[in-house]
Chain A
């Protein structure tokens, strides 16, 4: 069943939600950064996708996984948990796909067991997706088939003075109190996006993989600042390293944490004895692009890249993943782009 809610009632609806759960919404900060932040009645940013994705709500960039303390004869390992009920309002279709893609890795892939931190956060978070009004700059979700949401609980579609709301799950539907939501009399407005940016996906994973030594890698890599912005804003960059730390005066209690890493850094591939396996910028850039568009698909059947275009928007020197991939595709497929 479908519903509608008046636009001016949205803040009150979020207030109601915030009474029971932690609600996260897209906002534009004073600095100009667009991020997901806790709802505090502030102005919402609904113009397009945020530059920083909501991945941090599921995989924080710095995440303690347990404390340990030396006892006589053994260590006492105190586990941590995160079972907070969360609601993310305004997650874009591409970002719902990002979570879907990461689910393959953290929930299903490994026989060593799933990552309970991630799965628990996923389970305890309601996703209220917001359909895009139009294509965003740099985005190419229509090429990647990610312009319609997946795995969401509710879908909001903006139109005129109200939102058209579709419930995709029971727990989503339960949030639609009568006070704000009226049954919809019409059908869902169709929203077909036409992205300006595009990526030729035909045989993409294979073509990129077999063009490991294409000149485009060096050509673009030479300009790369190795600033890691692309990997930080990417909603599916998850690579991490593990670190131990302790604090003076904290009764000798130490912690182990996972920290978001970046393949654009030399340390990413550095082994004992300081040998770096991916030294050149070209090799590091290629690692990023191939992980997004080739390796992951070869392992999990899904492209890790979900076409949000954030890496392009965040790059200070205009390195464009779609340009690189299309260049190789053009040479391989012989298709004019």
Chain B
């Protein structure tokens, strides 16, 4: 008998160190057929099992056009991610998914697109950025605004360089700088002015810590963006990923099924649990 929570096995084919606490795992299903059938929308997530430790939701950080494997960028914060960080190439993990709605990139064609990210929030957005990068001509102006705590937390520097070369306006800032840092200092919202974001015909995708998203949306609205132009990807506790376990609901919405990507319009209609 099969529970819907039973994962398929997958192999870690590569591990890359991103920062002192972040690694990117390249993973593919052990069953070649399952991998061949696999496709996803940027912004969707997988339930990743580390056998003996548990299961957590992780967004896919690789390109939706390269599905011979998938990548997960994971920060070492909890027991399961800690165990994952101790795995080696060739180790087996469990996977099920993809779950969630993902970014409606189809709807964004012909528009300017802005990615606002905080810390490891760049990981779920990277998949969307790759998708835009692959079909550049379909989009208008492209911006990536990246904020993180310290220069040591900067994620995907090589990617960021490449995106800048390929016509994305890439701006980054750190909360606390060190002696070698010559870039911007301050929270990510201070980049909004610098970037001179066009409001007309633009969509903004936001992903990062809860408070960073909250203040980004507030500042963006002040710039004249309408709720229908703003999208955020949320984080909640998830046990099943399929709308069963009821851990991730916000008001009448399940983050795992109706999200994790919500428009600011949806978010505005959600009741606020607590202040």
Contacts and interface: CB of A to CB of B under 8 A. Distances in A.
A283 B273 CA distance: 6
A41 interface: no
A272 B81 contact: yes
Most chain A beta-carbon contacts within 10 A, residue among B94, B245, B246:
B246
Interface string A204-218: 000001001100000
B244 A241 contact: no
A335 interface: no
Size bin of chain B's contact surface: 35 or more
Most chain A beta-carbon contacts within 10 A, residue among B49, B77, B240:
B240
A73 B78 CA distance: 26
Contacts, number: 125
Contact of A65 (B3, B245, B247): B3
A239 B245 contact: yes
A79 to B, nearest CB: 6
Interface stretch (B50-58, B109-117, B147-155, B170-178): B50-58
A115 B77 contact: no
Contacts of A273: 77
A295 B252 contact: yes
Interface string B73-114: 000011001000000000010100001000000000000000
Contact of A271 (B236, B240, B246, B271): B236
B158 interface: no
B246 A263 contact: yes
A275 B210 contact: yes
A272 B58 CA distance: 12
Interface string B182-213: 00000000000000000000000000001000
A81 B1 contact: yes
Interface in B6-62: 6, 9, 30, 49, 51-55
B273 A240 contact: no
B239 interface: yes
Interface string A186-214: 00000000000000000000000100110
Contacts of A275: 210
Interface string A3-41: 000000000000000000000000000000000000000
A273 B149 CA distance: 15
B1 A116 contact: yes
Nearest to B96: A112
A110 interface: yes
Contacts of B77: 272-273
A333 B132 CA distance: 50
A75 interface: yes
Given A241-B247, A279-B274, A75 B3 contact: no
A12 to B, nearest CB: 34
Contact of A242 (B5, B9, B272): B5
Interface string B223-261: 000000000000111011011111101111000000000
A239 B247 contact: yes
A180 interface: no
A270 B237 CA distance: 6
A219 B5 CA distance: 39
B252 A246 contact: no
Interface string A98-122: 0000000110011011111100100
A70 B243 CA distance: 30
Given A243-B54, A263-B246, A291-B249, 9 more contacts: A79-B6, A82-B1, A113-B2, A116-B4, A120-B1, A209-B251, A241-B239, A261-B245, A269-B237
Interface of B: 1-6, 9, 30, 49, 51-55, 77-78, 81, 92, 94, 99, 210, 235-237, 239-240, 242-247, 249-252, 271-274
26 contacts: A66-B3, A74-B9, A79-B6, A80-B1, A83-B1, A110-B4, A112-B4, A112-B99, A113-B4, A115-B4, A116-B2, A116-B4, A117-B1, A240-B239, A240-B245, A241-B239, A242-B239, A244-B52, A256-B5, A258-B5, A261-B247, A268-B247, A277-B250, A278-B273, A287-B249, A291-B249
Interface of A: 65-66, 68, 70, 73-75, 77, 79-83, 105-106, 109-110, 112-117, 120, 209, 212-213, 238-244, 246, 254, 256, 258, 261, 263, 268-273, 275, 277-280, 283, 287, 290-291, 294-295, 298-299
